[in-house]
Amino acid sequence: MESIAMSRGCRRRRVFGRAAGRLSLGLLGTIFACVLIQPAGCGESIRMDRAGPVADWPHYGANTGGTRFSPLTQINRENVDSLAIAWTYHTGDVLPTDASGLGTSFQNTPILVEGTLYLCSPRNKAIALNAQTGEERWVFDAVVDTTGVVLQICRGVSYWRDPNASPGSECAERIFMGTLDARMIALDAKTGVPCRGFGRGGTIDLSEGIGHRYPGEYGVTSPPLVLGDLLVTGAMVLDNIRVDAPGGVVRAYDLRTGAQRWSWDPLPPGRKYVEGNDESGEAVRYQRGTTNAWSILSGDAERGLVFVPTGNTAPDFFGAQRDGLDYYSSSIVALSLESGVPVWNFQTVHHDVWDYDVPAQPALFDFPGPQGPVPAVAQTTKLGHVYLLDRQNGRPLFPVEERPVPVDGAEGEILSPTQPFPTRPPPIHPAKLSVDDAWGITPLDRWDCQRKIESLRYDGPFTPPSESGWIGYPSYFGGSNWGSMAIDASRGLLITNTSRMASVLRLIPRAKFIARMTAAQERGETPPQWEPQEGTPYAMTRDFLVSFLGLPCSPPPWGTLVAIDLATGEIRWEVPLGTTEDIAPFPIGLPLGVPSQGGPIVTASGLIFIAAAMDDYLRAFDIESGVELWRGRLPAGGQATPLTYRTHPEGKQFVVIAAGGHALMGTTPGDSVVAFSLED
């Protein structure tokens, strides 16, 4: 399931409860005095190196392999504390979060091609900016229908230059944007005008062949993959609503005409779907209820492979009705670019009934094998597992063990007796939570957490779902999420961030669910925010495991930044990411680490740039040590992944971040695109 939760039952509770406001200033002051906080950078300006390289950022993940690496060196360890805001642009597209948690979330990473930044706002405005000044060049508003959309987001757009078109001709350069209401739009990169020869007047209707959809149940939130002469896209599906949710088909289209070239219907091998019409009379070409690919795809043009990270098969927390449709669930799948046929697949969770998606973009790198470099792919998961696989066949480069797990779940459920555990890298999220681990800022709320943990079952991350309730740790939030990872090949390091929050989950028998809903409606009350899981014996409810003060019951750090040695699979270093400054009732930044959404980038000068955390800062870290070197204040939550670029030899290097907050996390809302550069 995408991000925090892409269904109705998760709107009410945000990641950190605001009940923390009941803490006294004196108590927080005492705690703050006992904690050493690293100061933000405040050094003197240093002369810029004008001789360094220049570089664009032409893809969402810097390149189609998703490494998020830049060769730029102008900003380095010695001068990073001289960074200052160079310009700010406002999209004008922000919807304040309402009482149910609905609102816009600005999770965008712009791309940079030949002096122009291209981005999309949460409700699908495509925007082009002057990369040096932030001046607006054009805006295209897709005018989307957001009815029923839980997370209003657009993570990015994609660029393509037609090698057969005359320079300067109409749509010789194109921007592609998927929309919340299931369209794919092609725009002239110079003007923002729809490309008339693509699809129908510049648009493909991605809902064709999907069948009946609830409002907001099916759409596109991630940028498509542009590889060769194809555009490849999956889609977001609200996968905890019903058994027969829209199918998770992945499709490829001709970049010039928009004609569909192939589709991958994620059915088990040997099974084919017979096309027909559903109960509403709509045509259905693809099997309903299959796993979907809502996150970012990667591609290897040399080998003709598309790497697809998959989510859950519907519904998330009870799988007895899936009938084998979760064969590709929570997996990395390599598809042939030419045909869409699976070349190999690796499953990270068997019969996933915990919402442990593979949410991150796969990252391609060369593994230093004993006989020479091995083409490899790295994958992080919500479990906090990191897999390093041979890119050509999907085989693990370090041993993966199938270990026994509990199977005594809900009546009717048949769980897998074993689950895969990577031996290296080791898990980057704890797999233990006991009464003794309960955390509290006071003895009273620690006691409250102990009481709650004792009342719930927890046998590790694969604790069977049940009516009596269980703890999810890692939670459905992660672990890792769509922010993905960054790879510095020269240093042999993988950088990623994690969240460490526990959740409380419970299956609700269908009869009880119906009775409660009916009674609430008869009394004119708001029905409970339970997730229906229609077609199964159970609805379900979930929340985060917090004390009466609204603070996490799991021990800090609640968010970390991690460096992994790609050659050995060992953790090189790990540090807390973020402070409590913008989530506590007083502006006191306890460096406990906080949950994050968004990811890191790395530069050749040895810097990691990341925002993502629940405080409103962009940070720079030393990639060798994990030491924080600088932080820059943002006007809103930075729940996005930054980018960096330098467009010409005499120009400045910029680091740009979307700062607009995350509705369900409750971070500061906004509509800013902020560019930092070195002061002269």
For the chain, the helix, strand and coil percentages under 3-state DSSP, each to the nearest 5: 10, 30, 60
pLDDT band (50, 70, 90) for residue 279: confident
In degrees and rounded to multiples of 5, residue 29 shows phi and psi of -65, -40
CA gap 53, 70 in Å, rounded: 10
CB atoms within 10 A of CB 86: 18
Residue 1 resides in a domain: no
Whether 629 and 618 have beta carbons less than 8 Å apart is answered as no
Q: What is the pLDDT of residue 249?
A: 98
Beta bridge partners of 505: 470, 542
Closest-CA residue to 456 (of 536, 543, 353, 556): 543
Q: What is the dihedral of CA 639, 640, 641, 647, to 10 degrees?
A: -130
Residue 646 resides in a domain: yes
Q: What is the pLDDT of residue 1?
A: 67
In degrees and rounded to multiples of 5, residue 327 shows phi and psi of -55, -40
Structure tokens, 297: 């795809």
Which contiguous run of DSSP H or E holds residue 200?
none
Which residue reads 């993940």 in tokens? 61
CB atoms within 10 A of CB 294: 27
pLDDT above 60: residue 289: yes
Q: What is the pLDDT of residue 37?
A: 38
pLDDT band (50, 70, 90) for residue 102: confident
Q: Give the pairing of strands 151-152 and 103-104.
A: parallel
pLDDT in tens, 220-278: 999 999 999 999 999 999 989 999 999 999 999 999 999 999 999 999 999 999 888 88
Which residue reads 């017979």 in tokens? 274
pLDDT above 60: residue 212: yes
pTM over 0.85: yes
Which contiguous run of DSSP H or E holds residue 29?
helix 25-33
CATH number, domain containing residue 354:
2.140.10.10
Sheet holding 470-472, edge to edge: 470-472, 503-509, 538-544
Residue 3 resides in a domain: no
Beta bridge partners of 485: 496
Q: Which amino acid is at 82?
A: S
Least-confidence region, from 279-283, 327-331, 563-567, 619-623: 279-283
CA gap 466, 461 in Å, rounded: 14
CA gap 248, 206 in Å, rounded: 12
Q: What is the pLDDT of residue 424?
A: 97
Q: Where are the alpha helices (DSSP H) in 504-574?
A: 510-522
CA gap 502, 500 in Å, rounded: 7
Q: What is the pLDDT of residue 99?
A: 63
Q: What is the 3-state secondary structure (H, E, C) of 35-95?
A: CCCCCCCCCCCCCCCCCCCCECECCCCCCCCCCCEECCCCCCCCCHHHEEEEEEEECCCCC
Structural domain for 118, as ranges: 8-678
Beta bridge partners of 471: 504
CB contact burial 168-195 (16+ within 10 A = b; e otherwise): eeebbbbbbbbbbbbbbbbbbbbebebb
Whether 326 and 239 have beta carbons less than 8 Å apart is answered as no
Give the C-alpha distances (Å, rounded to integers) separating 415 from 288, 320, 411, 469: 22, 9, 11, 17
Least-confidence region, from 9-13, 146-150, 401-405, 456-460: 9-13
Question: What does the DSSP 8-state code read for residue 275?
Answer: P
In degrees and rounded to multiples of 5, residue 448 shows phi and psi of -60, -40
Whether 578 and 559 have beta carbons less than 8 Å apart is answered as yes
pLDDT in tens, 6-64: 333 333 334 454 333 333 333 334 333 344 334 444 445 466 778 899 999 999 999 99
CB contact burial 386-395 (16+ within 10 A = b; e otherwise): bbbbbbbebe
CA gap 655, 676 in Å, rounded: 5
Q: What is the pLDDT of residue 524?
A: 81
Q: What is the pLDDT of residue 495?
A: 98
pLDDT in tens, 360-369: 999 999 999 8
Q: Rounded mean pLDDT of 105-118? A: 97
Q: Which residue has the higher pLDDT, 302 or 370?
A: 302
The number of domains in the chain is: 1
CA 458 to the chain's CA centroid: 26
Residue 95 resides in a domain: yes
pLDDT in tens, 414-432: 999 999 999 999 999 999 9
How large is the C-alpha radius of gyration of the chain? 24
Q: Which amino acid is at 587?
A: P
Which residue reads 């199918």 in tokens? 247
pLDDT above 80: residue 672: yes
Residue 325 resides in a domain: yes
CA 413 to the chain's CA centroid: 29
pLDDT in tens, 483-521: 999 999 999 999 999 999 999 999 999 999 999 888 888
CA gap 153, 378 in Å, rounded: 26
Closest-CA residue to 552 (of 472, 612, 610, 480): 472
Q: Give the pairing of strands 607-610 and 601-603.
A: antiparallel
Which residue reads 């664009």 in tokens? 56
CA gap 175, 167 in Å, rounded: 16
| Average predicted confidence (pLDDT) for the chain | 91
Strand spans (E) along 166-311 = 173-178, 183-188, 203-205, 218-219, 225-227, 230-233, 236-237, 250-254, 260-264, 276-277, 283-284, 298-300, 305-309
Structure tokens, 92: 């004008």
Which residues participate in catalysis according to the annotation?
355
Residue 2 resides in a domain: no
Q: Which residue has the higher pLDDT, 347 or 274?
A: 347
User: How many residues are given for the chain?
Assistant: 680
Structure tokens, 65: 């392999």
Q: How far apart are the first and last CA of the chain?
A: 46
| Preceding peptide of 464 cis, ω within 30° | no
pLDDT in tens, 573-626: 999 999 989 887 666 788 999 999 999 999 999 999 999 999 999 999 999 999
- Residue 619: helix, strand or coil by DSSP? strand
Q: What is the pLDDT of residue 586?
A: 64
Residue 594 resides in a domain: yes
Q: What is the pLDDT of residue 94?
A: 93
Question: What does the DSSP 8-state code read for residue 664?
Answer: G
Residue 271 resides in a domain: yes
Q: What is the pLDDT of residue 588?
A: 77
